[in-house]
């Protein structure tokens, strides 16, 4: 197992990395970035919660510090490895799980696996700007598209922030994006949904034109308790309203 608090590890190889500023105690927030992204995007969010919680961000292969590693494309094996790592080192105090945009699907899978194993669960699962499994549309066809068409389709349904789709950056981001959408396509719901997670608080922007509230509220089908919270802004709250998003997350528990 990983032992996340030892000092002899290479943090670039960790499944979860502790974002600065760091706290030795208090609440922990585990964050799952959106498709194609890594821990760095949660820097402003982490600074916004610094005096009340610490943030650990999912650090998948194929991007940022792990850019030279092969991205993962199979959902269930990845979930098992992530929960192995969490069980070993990061479930020792109260925590919240945040899944940002497409990261919500992987966050959901991890929380479900934590529950199946009888491990300490989060206070709440917080999907941000993303509908529940089965409501996000079919992304399996993305893997068959040529690069230009791949990016056009992503633009059409708002699947990436504008900054990530600048033409000269596409070769850098495309492999991780393709892998993450393959992960989404590989997800399969198994077992009963309602009651699988004690509490879900979904967050979305007041002017989000990518995700409809009618789809987001269906997270209620997966939880014993559910609420929807809105934050002033559009779809990419992490970029444009990180402090407001952080406050909304802190208020969930």
Across the chain, mean pLDDT equals 86
Q: What percent of the chain has pLDDT over 70?
A: 87
First to last CA, the chain: 29
Q: Buried b / exposed e across 136-174, counting CB within 10 Å, b at 16+?
A: beebeebeeeeeeebbeebeeebbbbeebbeeeeeeebb
What total of structural domains would you count in the chain?
1
Question: Is residue 4 in some structural domain?
Answer: no
Q: Is residue 1 part of a domain?
A: no
Please determine, for residue 196, whether its predicted confidence score (pLDDT) is greater than 80.
no
Lowest mean pLDDT across 12-26, 74-88, 149-163, 238-252: 149-163
pLDDT at 9: 43
The verdict on residue 82 lying in a domain is yes
Judge whether residue 107 has pLDDT over 90: yes
Mean pLDDT calculated for residue range 91-100:
94
Q: Is residue 106 part of a domain?
A: yes
Q: Over 70: is that where the pLDDT of 164 sits?
A: no
Q: Would 77 be classed as within a structural domain?
A: yes
Q: Is residue 235 part of a domain?
A: yes
Residue 5 counted as domain residue: no
- Could you tell me the pTM of the whole model? 0.89
Give mean pLDDT, residues 31-56. 93
Q: What is the CATH number of the domain that holds 155?
A: 3.40.50.1820
User: Looking at the predicted structure, is the pLDDT value of residue 5 above 80?
Assistant: no
Q: What's the rounded mean pLDDT across residues 179-193?
A: 79
Domain that holds residue 38: 11-250
Q: Would you state the pLDDT for residue 125?
A: 97
Above 80 in pLDDT, residue 238? yes
Tokens at residue 59, please? 């650090």
Residue 226 inside a domain? The answer is: yes
């Amino acid at each position: 197992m990983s032992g996340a608090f030892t000092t002899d590890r290479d943090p670039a190889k960790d499944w979860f990395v502790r974002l600065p500023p760091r706290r030795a105690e208090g609440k922990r927030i585990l964050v799952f970035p959106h498709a194609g992204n890594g821990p760095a995007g949660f820097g402003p969010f982490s600074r916004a919660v610094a005096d009340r919680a610490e943030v650990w961000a999912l650090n998948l292969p194929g991007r940022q510090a792990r850019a030279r590693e092969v991205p993962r494309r199979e959902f269930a094996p990845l979930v098992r490895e992530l929960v192995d790592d969490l069980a070993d080192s990061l479930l020792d105090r109260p925590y919240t799980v945040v899944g940002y945009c497409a990261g919500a699907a992987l966050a959901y899978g991890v929380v479900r696996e934590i529950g199946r194993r009888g491990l300490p669960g989060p206070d709440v699962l917080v999907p941000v700007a993303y509908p529940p499994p089965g409501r996000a549309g079919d992304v399996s066809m993305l893997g068959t598209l040529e690069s230009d068409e791949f990016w056009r389709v992503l633009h059409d349904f708002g699947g990436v922030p504008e900054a990530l789709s600048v033409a000269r950056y596409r070769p850098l981001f495309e492999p991780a994006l393709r892998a993450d959408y393959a992960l989404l396509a590989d997800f399969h719901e198994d077992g009963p949904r309602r009651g699988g997670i004690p509490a879900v608080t979904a967050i979305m922007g007041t002017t989000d034109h990518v995700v409809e509230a009618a789809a987001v509220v269906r997270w209620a089908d997966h939880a014993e308790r559910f609420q929807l919270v809105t934050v002033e802004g559009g779809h990419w709250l992490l970029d444009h309203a990180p402090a407001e998003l952080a406050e909304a997350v802190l208020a969930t528990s």
